[in-house]
Amino acid sequence: MKLCIALDNPSKEENLKLAKELKEYSNDLWLKVGFRSYIRDGNEFIVELKNLGYNIFLDLKLYDIPNTMADASEEIAKLGVDMFNIHASAGKRAMSEVMDRISKFQNRPLVLAVTALTSFSEDEFKEIYNDSIKNKAKEFAKISYQAGLDGVVCSVWESREIKNATSKEFITLTPGIRPFGEDAGDQKRVADINAAKENLVDFIVVGRPIYKAKKPKEVVEKILNTIKES
């Protein structure tokens, strides 16, 4: 299981400061760049993080018509990021076109499909998708697997069942991680590290418990040690 840190600070300077502070752990963790950071800081920010030795997950959740998604995916692959995501609800054809388009890259990035956002409650999700999170997440995962994607974004609570329905090598990345029982904030389906381990999660995404900590380095060390424990 890998730790992925969400760089969601309100400024580029704060995010870079955190990345530099944690540089010694760059082989053991990934950095997630989301909408806010990417829109504000652009491709230059990606290059700066890569130069520090990190693997980068670009979290833009592409969702559009198939050709537009494929075009955007090709541009993302050119950036040299290591992983990015798209929405599974765009459909199998869109996901397949994305994978076809980036297959020409020698070291293409991993591609994950978003199943159900972890900010959804069960009632909120059902209002839009007319199904339970559990059922729909598994259905989206199967379609993503068939389309040739590398994995999905889901909550901890769907991870094991998704792997059972696809493959144990099919990646699950789980936001909403509160490593040691911290406040859930705007997330609904949260979990701690032990629950992530039990549910065979491959990547855990941790944001506020790290970047809002007075001593983020100590929190990262504690998380990495917990991950390594059998």
| Helices within the chain (DSSP H only) | 12-21, 35-51, 66-79, 92-102, 122-129, 133-146, 156-165, 193-198, 208-211, 216-228
Active site (catalytic) residues: 61
3-state secondary structure at position 191? strand
Between CA 84 and CA 119, with CA 49 as vertex, the angle to 5 degrees is 45
Structure tokens at 198: 């039990």
Distance in angstroms (rounded) separating the CA atoms of residues 54 and 44: 14
C-alpha distances out from residue 226 to 3, 6, 193, 219, 220, Å: 11, 19, 8, 11, 10
Per-position b or e across 87-125, b if 16+ CB within 10 A of its CB: bbbbeeebbbbbbebbeeeeeebbbbbbbbbbebeeeeb
Task: Report the relative pairing of strands 83-87 and 55-62 from DSSP bridges.
Answer: parallel
C-alpha distances out from residue 213 to 184, 190, 208, Å: 15, 19, 8
